[in-house]
């Protein structure tokens, strides 16, 4: 659910806003050229994924970012980052070996006239 919620650029932008502090639906809707009901749908997706929560401040119901699901996603992605880094290091080593072999081959190959 976390990754599905993060797949949408509008929801990522909303999370970026909330990373700066809590905000109301109206405040969250300001930067977007979409209706408040459309923003509310995005907020529901984020809430269902546990990425944001709804507070209560008198008549105002500010949203705030919830770090736990993002931390879990980051931890999961970190495992794959390490895997890919290892693959890239092996690829770099192979390319270095191939370049060295090519240089040796050029050095020992007579030039054509």
Q: What would the DSSP string read from start to end of 10-51?
A: HHHHHHHHHTT--B-HHHHHTTSSS-HHHHHHHHHHHHHTTS
> DSSP assignment, residue 53?
E
How would you write the pLDDT of the chain (113 residues) with one tens digit per residue?
Answer: 999 999 999 999 999 999 999 999 889 999 999 888 999 999 999 999 999 999 876 677 899 999 899 899 999 999 899 889 999 999 999 999 999 988 888 887 777 66
Q: Which residue has the tokens 């060295």?
A: 100
Backbone angles phi, psi at 64, to 5 degrees: -140, 150
Which CATH code for domain 2-65?
Answer: 1.10.10.10
pTM, to two decimals:
0.69
Q: Where are the domains of the chain?
A: 2-65, 67-113
């Amino acid at each position: 659910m976390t990754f599905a919620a993060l797949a949408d650029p509008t929801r990522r932008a909303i999370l970026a806003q909330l990373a700066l502090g809590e905000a109301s639906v109206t405040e969250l809707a300001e930067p977007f050229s979409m209706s408040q009901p459309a923003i509310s749908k995005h907020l529901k997706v984020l809430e269902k994924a546990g990425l944001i929560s709804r507070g209560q401040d008198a008549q105002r119901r500010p949203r705030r970012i919830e770090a736990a699901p993002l931390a879990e996603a980051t931890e999961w992605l970190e495992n794959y980052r390490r895997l890919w880094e290892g693959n890239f290091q092996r690829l770099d080593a192979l390319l270095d070996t191939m370049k060295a072999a090519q240089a040796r081959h050029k050095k020992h190959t007579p030039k054509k006239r």
